[in-house]
Structure 1
Amino acid sequence: MEMRWHCKYQSPLGLVLLSILSLSLQGIVFGYILPSKLILPWLLYFSFLIVLRPYYSAITVFLIESILLRVHIMKMSHTNTAFEASDIFAWKQAFFLKGYTDFLIPALGIGLVFCFVKGFALRKRQLAFLPAVLLVTTSCVQERNPTQSTSNPISFLFSLAKVHYVDWNFATNIKENGILNHVFLTLPMGQIPAKGPARLGERQIAVSPHAPLKPDVFLILCESCYTSSSSKFVTPMAELEKEGFERSTMISPVYGGMTAEAEFEVLTGLPSQRYKGIDFQYFAESYSHEAMGLPRVFVKNGYSSFSAHNNKGFFWRRDLVHPKFGFQKSIFLEEMNWPDLSVTPEDDILFESALKQYKSNLDGKKNTFAFLITIHTHGPYKEVEDDGGEGDYKAKLEKSLKEFLRFQKQVYELAQKNSRPVIFVIFGDHKPAMTISFYKKHVFSDDFFSSKGERNDGFRFSSLSESQRMIYGRVPVFIKSLNVKNGELAKEIARTSHDKPLYCLPSVLTKFINVHHEYYRFLDTVCKRPSVELVDKAVIDSVFSEEAYGNLLFD
């Protein structure tokens, strides 16, 4: 039956249609319905009426909501991390992660394009809906740049409808408030952590005039690299012990993805869970150009610093963040010898670029601090005979580690020729997104999950206790020192870092290699607490003040 667009009741009928579809979607997915979740869907519906016919406007909003909800479910399945507004601002990263998607998102996208093409209309009477467009746009601007004297219209509507922002748990916020309300509530704001008197954040460097020769440091973030300490889930990474590496474990803040959160902790010595969202995305524009990250501390202590990653620089906004944190040079995929930028690179090109830069530093008589990020072991992993992708993962890991060991030996030869001590620290940023394998191998027990399935995307993590978060985030760390006077150096680093959060790594490293900053002395004291306390969000919020972040990282 042909739709009769001239009917004067089409606008209210379209609103009813959207309400039914939106509430039904929420009920089917979460079994939970609150009418207040309709605030943003309704506002978007009226906004689209300025260019679309009513029924098409309703379907368009419903399809947008469906796409975002599907992305959220996929993200939760693979990383146990909820969708947030900053993911939209980092939309270019989606092309790299396309391997995780299924047919549903492209199908919904096609439906969205169809609605725009078929429902497009421009008539004078549609200008009546211009206030809705202005309300949404001005509210978004004010939400991103709030002031004490203004309250944006959407936030006012939220307060009237008693929308409760569950900022401590984004997954719960989506369940209770709907994905579109959630996107608005998690918009990256222009606000930054406050500065103030905080002894631990002072930018003072103390260097001993009789300091021993400082070693060159290679800190390698190994993408999704994992092996268990027990026999439960042994991978090729365990072979590093046979190559002379000391073994330890640390606690990552993330699982299955969100590398930038682990990276933030290692490069700042600050917990990533203190603020909502992904810190690299959330604060990239706001970080000081003189932020006191770990690389800048090394530079202040007489080092030359560089980072290298065989992925494009825009990913996680590293091209913007790394220089601000103190890297004097950053090398990304665009500068490496890789012919097809659409294919996930191998790690040998990363190590080739790093080796070239190290040679340059040696020629210039410079001490080196290098931070390298691998990518070859990134998922998704191909499943063979219901192995959950384990075979593909181990093959990728074995290849990547062989390339790393070849690089390590080349660096050692160069260091030996130049009478330079050198330290390698290679760590996994998070466990790989292979939840079913961790479950079958009894790394994760039944009480880790609120629901389970036959595949990785069928598992949902429950609210985890602090002791469970230790298991959930535990990742391997391997350390090797060469040409150093202290033959026990690698063992001491391994012992001191054992089962501590990744944000403790900067204090451990700097303590043993004579690199100094007042904040790391404070951090060293904090990290002597029991590990289970150091992953407790309440403890993190009480110990790491807002001023610590403000003084160290922001102008």
Structure 2
Amino acid sequence: MKFNSNTRQLVLEVLSVLLLVACHFIIQWKLSPYHFTLRDGSIRWIPIAISVTPSLLFYGFARLILPNILSMALVISADVVLAIINLQKLGRINEVLGWTDLTNLSENISVVLEFVQPIHFVIIGAAMLALLAAYWLNRKVHNTPAYFCYKLLLIGLLTPVVFNTHLVYADVLSRHNSIATYLRSAGVNYIRSQWHKNLRVQGLAMHLVQTSARVTLSAPSADELRIAEQTDSYKLDSVHRSKKIIIILCEACWADKNHFSKEFQPLIDLGFKSARGISPSYGGGTANASFEWQTGLPANNVLTGVIYQEYSGVMREKLNSIAQSLHSEGFRTVAAHNYKRKFWHRHEMMPKLGYDEFIGIEDMQMFDYKPNRYGWIDDGVMYANIRDHIDSEGPAFLYLTTMYTHAPFRQMNDLGQADFANRVSTTVNRIAEFVKYVKDRHDATIVVYGDHKPMMTDFYLSEGIFSPDMFLKIGKNNAGYLFKETVDRPAIGDVPVYIYDKDEARVNNFISEADGLPFFCQSALLNKHFIGTQVLSHQFALKNSLCSPSASFKLSDLEKSYPAWLYSVSLF
């Protein structure tokens, strides 16, 4: 049987779409923790069908410009690459890929490249070959100068539509209309505060669409504003406040009594006392750890993703934070980080958090400090560049973020622990040198905390720090692991916190109350014992006894105790 050209084109179109759909579901099956069935074993027909629509939408746009085979190859290649990137992020830092990770790729690429392995180049190369093969198969279709000009014009007209339709699409899926109501009843609803669960029930493509529309918090009601006013009237007790208050976020700094404790001994020798804290992040996500310490609000509650990256553009100019409150009381407030100013949008967030000055690597004199093999500069350069701020007259609050111990960690016939030990020893010694300089000259309160565990999942499993039942999947390397949705977050978030103040009794009181609590509580308790300034989240926590030490507290319940209106009033 012979077919005319139109029939052949229709058959080819149908086959391209069917192959695209089949590949989409194979990718979700093999490369994504997607739930095809409910707990009773029944198939989730409607969510499964909806999950492929972003890929079909992408294909439809591509078909307006490209031939069908090339369009199909382009969409399948994008599906594969995104799925692998998501698996890498899940395996390394237990975080789900979000839309802004893609739109901020130019800023994040320097860190991302440190984790690229040869297999990733093979996969990308295969995708490129597939696209070239598809182009070769279609090279004779409409191959005329006039048609080429037509395609260029079409690309120019459609580009604004393509790059804005996802927002309309996400908006339709989330609005309170008949379509959204029906889809929610069928299981197609954006689980905004639980990205891991959202990925499993919506699929990666739909998850990316949903996270592209920034969901802002509702304005507080009149009753909630009254509660906020009552909370703001709660006054912290007056305390002796050191002239220099310093918080040092130590990148990926971790130890327990059986591992790396000798690397942190220089801090103990200087009079620091140690406690344990619970980070909101694992292996990465420094910005969220910093958010909790600076604002006293849980990162894993009503906000989503990397908070600095997701919300810097919509947060108000003056946030409710420790730095902002101290600034209003006459403190000189300075933040510094020996890495790029724009990374995680710190250049936008630090002024909003109340800092008079934010010093990035671009602003620092290098002296004789050198970067390591991964390009992370020795933390000594930061301390050398902020001494003038320490020695200036008047009170000062400094928030310093180190970089030298950032992953990855070279495996030298081990699981990366030797490289980590060497680098963390250098980092701690730099902190100790800086602390000694400060102690010799100033009355100071100093906190040093690890923002999250270093990215060494293999090591934790081999040492019994993690157990196999914490994982859905145990990989062949750090990127191959998948934590269970119900993983014990206090276990993966456990990190050391060190504090120094000349008043040892106050230090002991702080540790007795703060030991083992999440960062947002430790922030409130630091304020209670050493700072005594008005921060709304701290006042709320202390007024309602949310951060009283309890061996039986459940982290997720504690996080949910902080209502949405508190975020709205504090941040937006």
| TM-aligned CA deviation for residue 408 of structure 1 | 1.0
Q: Distance in 1 between matches of 2:5 and 2:182?
A: 30
* Counterpart in the other structure of 2:44: none
Q: TM-score by structure 1 length?
A: 0.86
* Counterpart in the other structure of 1:439: 461
* Counterpart in the other structure of 2:340: 312
Please point out which of 540, 559, 567 is paired with 1:540: 559
* Counterpart in the other structure of 2:479: 457
> Any conservation in 1 of the 2:277–2:517 contact (CA below 8 Å)?
yes
Q: Distance in 1 between matches of 2:97 and 2:35?
A: 18
Q: Distance in 2 between matches of 1:390 and 1:383?
A: 8
* Counterpart in the other structure of 2:29: 27
- Larger CA deviation: 155-164 vs 494-503: 155-164
Structure 1 residues 379 and 504, CA gap change in structure 2 (3 angstroms) = same
Please point out which of 214, 232, 237 is paired with 1:189: 214
Map 1:86-235 → 2, pairs under 5 A: 86-91=100-105, 92-110=107-125, 115=131, 137-142=163-168, 163-189=188-214, 191-196=216-221, 197-198=224-225, 201-202=228-229, 212=240, 214-228=242-256, 230-231=257-258, 234=261
Q: Distance in 2 between matches of 1:110 and 1:476?
A: 42
Please point out which of 78, 81, 84 is paired with 1:64: 78
| TM-aligned CA deviation for residue 111 of structure 1 | 5.1
| TM-aligned CA deviation for residue 478 of structure 1 | 0.7
- Larger CA deviation: 399-408 vs 99-108: 99-108
Please point out which of 273, 278, 288 is paired with 2:316: 288
Please point out which of 53, 60, 65 is paired with 1:39: 53
| TM-aligned CA deviation for residue 200 of structure 1 | 6.3
Q: Secondary structure at the match of 1:370?
A: strand
Q: Distance in 1 between matches of 2:13 and 2:120?
A: 28
- Larger CA deviation: 308-317 vs 515-524: 515-524
Structure 1 residues 162 and 254, CA gap change in structure 2 (3 angstroms) = closer
Map 1:243-392 → 2, pairs under 5 A: 243-274=270-301, 275-338=303-366, 343-359=375-391, 362=392, 365-385=393-413, 387-392=414-419
> Any conservation in 2 of the 1:200–1:522 contact (CA below 8 Å)?
no
Q: Distance in 1 between matches of 2:292 and 2:326?
A: 16
> Any conservation in 2 of the 1:15–1:58 contact (CA below 8 Å)?
yes
Q: Secondary structure at the match of 1:308?
A: strand
1:191-234 per-residue CA deviation (whole Å, 9 max, x = no partner) reads: 23523434664495899998745331110000000011x32564
Q: TM-score by structure 2 length?
A: 0.84
1:23-51 per-residue CA deviation (whole Å, 9 max, x = no partner) reads: 22222235855343210111100111122
* Counterpart in the other structure of 2:525: 508
- Larger CA deviation: 285-294 vs 369-378: 285-294
- Larger CA deviation: 405-414 vs 200-209: 200-209
Structure 1 residues 245 and 547, CA gap change in structure 2 (3 angstroms) = same
Q: Secondary structure at the match of 1:306?
A: strand
> Any conservation in 1 of the 2:260–2:421 contact (CA below 8 Å)?
no
Q: State the percentage of identical aligned residues.
A: 20
Paired amino acid for 2:93: T
* Counterpart in the other structure of 1:528: 548
| TM-aligned CA deviation for residue 481 of structure 1 | 1.5
Paired amino acid for 2:422: A
Paired amino acid for 1:375: M
Number of residue pairs matched by the alignment: 532
Q: Distance in 1 between matches of 2:398 and 2:67?
A: 57
* Counterpart in the other structure of 2:434: 407
Q: Distance in 1 between matches of 2:177 and 2:155?
A: 22
* Counterpart in the other structure of 1:8: 9
Please point out which of 492, 495, 498 is paired with 1:472: 492
Paired amino acid for 2:81: I
| TM-aligned CA deviation for residue 480 of structure 1 | 1.1
> Any conservation in 2 of the 1:501–1:534 contact (CA below 8 Å)?
no
Structure 1 residues 147 and 65, CA gap change in structure 2 (3 angstroms) = closer
Q: Secondary structure at the match of 1:533?
A: coil
Paired amino acid for 1:186: T
- Larger CA deviation: 448-457 vs 49-58: 448-457
Q: Distance in 2 between matches of 1:257 and 1:152?
A: 40
Give ranges in structure 1 of 5+ residues lacking alignment. 416-420
Paired amino acid for 2:519: L
* Counterpart in the other structure of 2:39: none
Paired amino acid for 2:109: A
Q: Distance in 2 between matches of 1:146 and 1:478?
A: 48
Q: Secondary structure at the match of 1:173?
A: helix
1:453-495 per-residue CA deviation (whole Å, 9 max, x = no partner) reads: 3432333212336xx322221110111124xxx3423222222
Q: Distance in 2 between matches of 1:515 and 1:77?
A: 40
| TM-aligned CA deviation for residue 280 of structure 1 | 1.1
1:114-137 per-residue CA deviation (whole Å, 9 max, x = no partner) reads: 637766875669999999988754
Q: Distance in 2 between matches of 1:26 and 1:144?
A: 20
1:332-384 per-residue CA deviation (whole Å, 9 max, x = no partner) reads: 0111134999822110111112213222xx2xx22011000001000000001
Q: Secondary structure at the match of 2:212?
A: coil
- Is the aligned partner of 1:425 residue 2:447? yes
Structure 1 residues 290 and 171, CA gap change in structure 2 (3 angstroms) = closer
* Counterpart in the other structure of 1:418: none
> Any conservation in 2 of the 1:264–1:279 contact (CA below 8 Å)?
yes
> Any conservation in 2 of the 1:280–1:318 contact (CA below 8 Å)?
yes
Structure 1 residues 211 and 25, CA gap change in structure 2 (3 angstroms) = closer
| TM-aligned CA deviation for residue 496 of structure 1 | 2.2
Q: Distance in 1 between matches of 2:499 and 2:379?
A: 19
| TM-aligned CA deviation for residue 82 of structure 1 | 1.2
1:62-100 per-residue CA deviation (whole Å, 9 max, x = no partner) reads: 111111111111111111111111211221212222111
Please point out which of 16, 19, 23 is paired with 1:17: 19
Q: Distance in 1 between matches of 2:225 and 2:206?
A: 36
Q: Secondary structure at the match of 1:427?
A: strand
> Any conservation in 1 of the 2:315–2:571 contact (CA below 8 Å)?
yes
RMSD: 3.5
Paired amino acid for 1:540: E
- Larger CA deviation: 160-169 vs 264-273: 160-169
| TM-aligned CA deviation for residue 105 of structure 1 | 3.5
Q: Distance in 2 between matches of 1:300 and 1:318?
A: 21
Q: Distance in 1 between matches of 2:565 and 2:152?
A: 49
